[in-house]
Amino acid sequence: VPAARALARTILMPATALLAIDWGTTSARAYRMSGAGEVLGIRESPLGIQQIRDGAFAAALRALQGDWNDIAAPRIASGMIGSRQGWIEAPYLDCPAGRDDLARSLATAPDGSLAIVAGVRYRDAEGIPDVMRGEETQIVGALADGTGETLAILPGTHSKWAVVRGGRIEQFATFMTGEVFAVLKDHSILGRMMAADGAAANDEGFRRGVRAARRAGVPGALLHRLFGTRTLALAGKLETGAVADYLSGLLIGSEIDAGVEWARHCGVAADRATLIGASALCTRYAVALAEAGVAVEAAPAAAAARGLWAIATRAGLVR
């Protein structure tokens, strides 16, 4: 009977062709993938690189893999694991960079267990650099055939806007939207007027914030408009339960206004964009982008896994 079970497993379960890991600052997610590039299983761990002490990356990888440790398949990872604070630094590729460039530039973990995808760097006209690690792989995964053109938006702590042409990231810009929201919520006078965490999202408050960020004919910039969060609440024109969402809308709306202007400067119409990332945050961005007249297409789920698969395939890790 055990032999029959093993046989059944061999027949019914597709073999693992790749273990693909999205390894960031605060968490790690591993995907077990078939030879056809399908996701067969997912394992998650809070062992982001920030949580790993004394360079214990190999132990963290074992913990993340659990009962996948014995699987004989190539491993590949993207994200902050390839940063200076990660396992080994995978140097940045300069733009333009796409699937093939990334496949040619893989670093290898010191113990040989893992290929690591490089980050991507862009220098603007005045030489101020911008960097991404992990998002380049998600962008590759979001392109249907690896050669598409799109304006990609990846909402997050540090949101990225990227102009993609011929499957390569040509230019990109980072916006500190998520982190600025978090520090203002937790540490500024604005946070003191907010309802406790866990309150229901206030969609109308969010939309009001987005519109306040985009008001035409009323000059002033974000540093001024932020204060409106306080004064509206003080004046009883914004209820406690809507303050956090108003602030979120104000910041996301400001990012979108600046991002659309930036995209046009890059020669992109910015009338449509591909949203990549966690669904709740992407839904917020979709609402705000609609206010700005930008049509949105959602990237397929598990864009990181798809991107790692595409890069591993082009690198010859998977055959």
In the region spanning residues 138 to 197, those forming contacts with a second copy, defined by CB under 8 A, are: 158, 173-177, 179-180, 183-184, 186-189
What is the residue type of 283? Answer: T
Alpha-carbon distance of 120 to 259, in angstroms, equals 19
Nearer residue to a second copy within complex by CB, 32 or 160? 160
What is d(CA 126, CA 136) in angstroms, rounded to the nearest whole number?
23
**For a second copy, which is the closer residue by CB, 112 or 219?**
219
Is 120 an interacting residue with respect to a second copy (CB under 8 A)?
no
Smallest distance, Å, CB 263 to a second copy? 9
| Cβ–Cβ under 8 Å, residues 19 and 73 | yes
Among 221, 269, 295, 301, binds a second copy (CB under 8 A): 221
Q: How many Å apart are CA 247 and CA 175, to the nearest integer?
A: 16
Beta carbon nearer to a second copy, 146 or 249? 249
Nearest to 141 by CA among 316, 298, 318: 298
Kindly tell me which of 100 and 179 has the beta carbon lying closer to a second copy.
179
Strand partners, 98: 168
Nearer to a second copy, 58 or 131 (CB): 131
Quick note: the x/- pattern for a second copy over 242-281, rule CB under 8 A, is ---------x--xx-xx--xx-xx----------------
Which residues on adjacent β-strands are paired with residue 163? 151, 171
User: Residues touching a second copy: how many (CB under 8 A)?
Assistant: 49
| Closer of 32 and 207 to a second copy (Cβ) | 207
Q: Rounded to an integer, what distance in angstroms lies between the CA atom of residue 223 and that of residue 260? A: 19
CA 250 from centre of chain: 21
Among 36-44, 51-59, 140-148, 228-236, which window interacts with a second copy (CB under 8 A)?
Answer: 228-236
**How far apart are CB 91 and a second copy at their closest, in Å?**
12
Closest separation in Å from C-beta 179 to a second copy: 6
By beta-carbon proximity to a second copy, the closer residue of 49 and 143 is 49
How many Cα atoms are found within 13 Å in the side-chain-facing hemisphere of 49? Answer: 20
Smallest gap from residue 247 Cβ to a second copy (A): 11
The 1-30 site mask, x for binding a second copy (CB under 8 A), equals ------------------------------
**Residue of 49, 118, 232, 247 that binds a second copy (CB under 8 A):** 232
Residues found near a second copy in the complex (CB under 8 A): 124-131, 158, 173-177, 179-180, 183-184, 186-189, 212, 215, 217-224, 226-228, 231-232, 234-235, 237, 251, 254-255, 257-258, 261-262, 264-265
